Amino acid sequence: MKVPGKTRRHSYIASTLACLALALVGCSATTPRSDHPKAPPPMSAPAAPAMSAAESIAIAEQAAKDALPDAPIWKGMTFKGVMISESQVCVDRTWAPGGGPNDDGGNAGYVVVTLPSKKMGEPQDGLCSDMPSAVVTTPPVVNVPSKLRDDPGLLVSTDFGRAWPLTVPYVIVGCKSITAGGQRLHVVSVTDPDGKTYAGNGSAKDHTDLPAIDPIWAPDPDVGGLKVDNTPVVDAGLELCD
């Protein structure tokens, strides 16, 4: 004969043990938590700033000079580079007066330097202008009014090359210090050839009535909806502040 009290106790104990067993199984199946923090994802290296045409040419000319053997025949040789593509500079080499194998100076051929690797092509006879199918890019001449040529804030596109971030050939930048919210701020202004002045940096945009520089700020050719980095213009303006 079954005893109701014992049956209920046995059932309760069995149920409790079953739940405990399931709990233990669940715990053992749980992935142990590590106390060690996860390593941060690797950071990509920042993109190198674009070199101006003048910087590219100077680097290529020096590379062509450094590639010559240390011998008296090369002494006094001069180097003149021209951009032939976004990553290549052709460098004309010229013997010193009275130099060269025949002691008569003159042209010593040319080499093509690829940047930024400074990889040197084989020396060729003739001039860079003789290169077959070469397109030698000559920087355009920017006509700056005479009254502005001595302005300390004058920035000309040809001095920046590919790093020039604006759609106008030159601007005049200015800078003044103001106090806003108890902080000293530098306000950069940018005046275009038509005489219109824009806010050159965030402080100017937030704390003056100057319009945004967007109308003369060049779009990024690689990323739709973005603008070219205008840091060179802003930095030049900030240098004029006290």
pLDDT for 21-37, tens place per residue? 444 444 444 444 444 44
Q: Is 199 part of any domain?
A: yes
Co-location of 74 and 101 in the same domain: yes
Question: What pLDDT does residue 62 have?
Answer: 94
Q: Is 218 part of any domain?
A: yes
> Which residues form the domain of 201?
146-238
Q: Is 35 part of any domain?
A: no
Question: What pLDDT does residue 3 have?
Answer: 46
| End-to-end Cα, the chain, rounded Å | 104
Q: Is 181 part of any domain?
A: yes
Co-location of 150 and 234 in the same domain: yes
Most confident range, picked from 76-80, 81-85, 172-176: 172-176
Co-location of 120 and 151 in the same domain: no
Least confident interval from 74-83, 94-103, 158-167: 94-103
Q: Is 9 part of any domain?
A: no
Co-location of 150 and 125 in the same domain: no
Co-location of 168 and 193 in the same domain: yes
Residue 180 pLDDT > 50: yes
Co-location of 120 and 201 in the same domain: no
Q: Is 109 part of any domain?
A: yes
Has this prediction a pTM greater than 0.85? no
Q: Is 48 part of any domain?
A: no
Where a domain ends, among 67, 99, 130? 130
Q: Is 215 part of any domain?
A: yes
Co-location of 76 and 150 in the same domain: no
63 within 8 A of 118, measured Cβ to Cβ? yes
